[in-house]
Amino acid sequence: MQQIKVLPQFPKLGPVFGKKVNEVAGILKGLSAEAAARFKSEGKWRVQVEGQDNWVTQEMVNFEYEPAAGWSLAAEGGMTAAVDTRLDEGLILEGLARELVNRIQNMRKEAGFAVTDRIALDLEAPPKVLEAFEKRRSYILQETLTVEVSHSGQPGEFRRSWPLADGEATLSVARAKVVEQRAQ
């Protein structure tokens, strides 16, 4: 989940290695994550300069932790937390559904609809957006007060295209004709 890098401290390496400090720093910076971890655990690292073995100690370097691809790290007080930041199919569809809600709500506002107006929605979109819509249909309809959905391409009172999921989604909204039924 994390990789370790060695960062040379030139003020501490210089007095020991003199003119060869840049060569030593290059060796230390080039250590693999595994070698850097071994250096940290053993407390010293052997480098060969002009045919002679020399030791670099932990006091001469700093260790930096980098997350492996797809991970994010946070450390404080000796504790480190790692979070997997890779997106799976479910998270991608959830994000697209939320994006649709946001776009529809913005369109309602731009069209001047009342907050309580029920709407009819026409949606033309790339397959991934349509899949997200169908998987999260009840959430989207509830959040946007949508009571009718079509995929006909017919313009409503307000129509707009948005870039979504590597394509373009065209949405049209109109006030829905809701018939109130009263108990007699």
User: Which listed CATH number (3.20.190.10, 3.30.70.3400, 3.30.720.200, 3.90.1150.10) goes with 2-84?
Assistant: 3.30.720.200
Euclidean distance between CA atoms 69 and 71, whole angstroms: 6
> Lowest-pLDDT range, 69-78, 108-117, 173-182?
173-182
Residues above pLDDT 70, as percent of the chain? 95
Tens-place pLDDT, residues 19-41: 999 999 999 999 988 899 899 88
Which residues are within 8 A (CB) of 179 and not within 5 positions of it... i.e. 6 or more apart? none
The domain locations on the chain are: 2-84, 89-175
Mean pLDDT for the stretch of residues 67-79: 78
Its pTM stands at: 0.59
What is the per-residue pLDDT for 119?
96
Closest CA to 27 of 42, 14, 11, 46: 46
Above 90 in pLDDT, residue 144? Answer: yes
Average pLDDT taken over every residue of the chain: 89
Asked if residue 23 lies in contact with residue 34, where contact means CB atoms within 8 angstroms, the answer is: no
> Lowest-pLDDT range, 6-10, 76-80, 86-90, 114-118?
76-80
